[in-house]
């Protein structure tokens, strides 16, 4: 029974890892097509960044975990793509403590959180948006915060495509060892707190 459960968990994770938002891909490819006519340098930059994102997805497809350093790099790659699309309407900052970089989290944890911030902070309002990602260690474990200045979270929040995939991965890999929060005050942010720290351990 234990082996069957492990196989079921692995199959569920493999499905989740394959879920790069098709709407993001569609929009990115359309933008590349447009830029290839108007600004070939930006088109090349965007193509390279998109290739990096998919290379990360494919090359590590057999791994459920990734280091926070790699996850930050992929979240930034995603934000670079959106920055090329939206130019001055989007700005972002990323801060991660050096001590947190080698800890392990589910692969493709941060990119959907960043995508959610872009979607609700910029695409929903059409106004200038700033996104901040903070990763730090505290006395209780690992703290991840993704902030944006878009509309407040509703009281009855229904998670969309990307956020639901984050929940599902966390439930499978860190069940009963993490907490999630959606806060509107004093700043709007998604918070994930991981109590179980994995570092320099074999990944599955």
Give the per-residue pLDDT at 7. Answer: 44
How many domains is the chain partitioned into structurally?
A: 1
Residues 142, 135: contact at Cβ < 8 Å?
Answer: yes
> In this structure, is residue 200 part of a structural domain?
no
Find the Cα–Cα–Cα–Cα dihedral 68, 85, 36, 161, rounded to 10°.
Answer: 60
> In this structure, is residue 187 part of a structural domain?
yes
Q: Per the structure block, which two tokens stand in for 62?
A: 């057999």
> In this structure, is residue 203 part of a structural domain?
no
Q: Average pLDDT for consecutive 10-residue bins of the chain (204 residues)?
A: 48 53 78 89 91 79 83 93 89 94 91 87 72 93 92 79 84 91 89 89 48
> In this structure, is residue 201 part of a structural domain?
no
Q: Per the structure block, which two tokens stand in for 194?
A: 């991981």
The pTM assigned to this predicted structure is 0.82
> In this structure, is residue 199 part of a structural domain?
no
Alpha-carbon distance 106 to 115, whole Å?
16
CATH code of the domain in which 176 resides: 3.30.565.10
Torsion 90-165-98-75 (CA) sign: negative
Torsion 30-34-36-41 (CA) sign: negative
Convert 98-126 to b/e letters by CB count within 10 Å (16 or more is b): eebeebbbbbbbbbbbbbbbbbbbbbeee
Domain that holds residue 173: 2-194
> In this structure, is residue 80 part of a structural domain?
yes
> In this structure, is residue 85 part of a structural domain?
yes
* Run of H or E residues at 93: strand 90-96
Q: Per the structure block, which two tokens stand in for 164?
A: 């639901």
> In this structure, is residue 202 part of a structural domain?
no
Alpha-carbon distance 112 to 40, whole Å?
28
């Amino acid at each position: 029974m234990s082996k069957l459960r492990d196989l079921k968990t692995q199959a569920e994770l493999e499905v989740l890892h394959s879920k790069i938002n098709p709407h993001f891909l569609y929009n990115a490819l359309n933008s590349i097509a447009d830029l290839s006519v108007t600004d070939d340098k930006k088109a090349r930059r965007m193509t390279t960044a998109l290739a990096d994102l998919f290379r990360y997805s494919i090359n590590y497809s057999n791994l459920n975990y990734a280091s926070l350093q790699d996850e930050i790099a992929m979240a930034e790659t995603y934000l670079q793509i959106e920055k090329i699309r939206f130019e001055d309407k989007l700005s972002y900052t990323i801060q991660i403590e050096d001590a947190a970089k080698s800890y392990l989290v589910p692969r493709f944890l941060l990119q959907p959180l960043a995508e959610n911030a872009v979607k609700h902070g910029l695409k929903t309002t059409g106004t200038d948006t700033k996104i901040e990602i903070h990763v730090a260690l505290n006395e209780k474990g690992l703290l991840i915060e993704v902030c944006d200045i878009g509309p407040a979270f509703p009281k009855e929040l229904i998670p969309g495509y990307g956020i639901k995939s984050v929940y599902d991965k966390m439930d499978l890999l860190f069940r009963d060892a993490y907490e999630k929060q959606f806060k509107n005050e004093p700043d709007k942010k998604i918070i994930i707190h991981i109590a179980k720290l994995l570092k320099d351990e074999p990944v599955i």
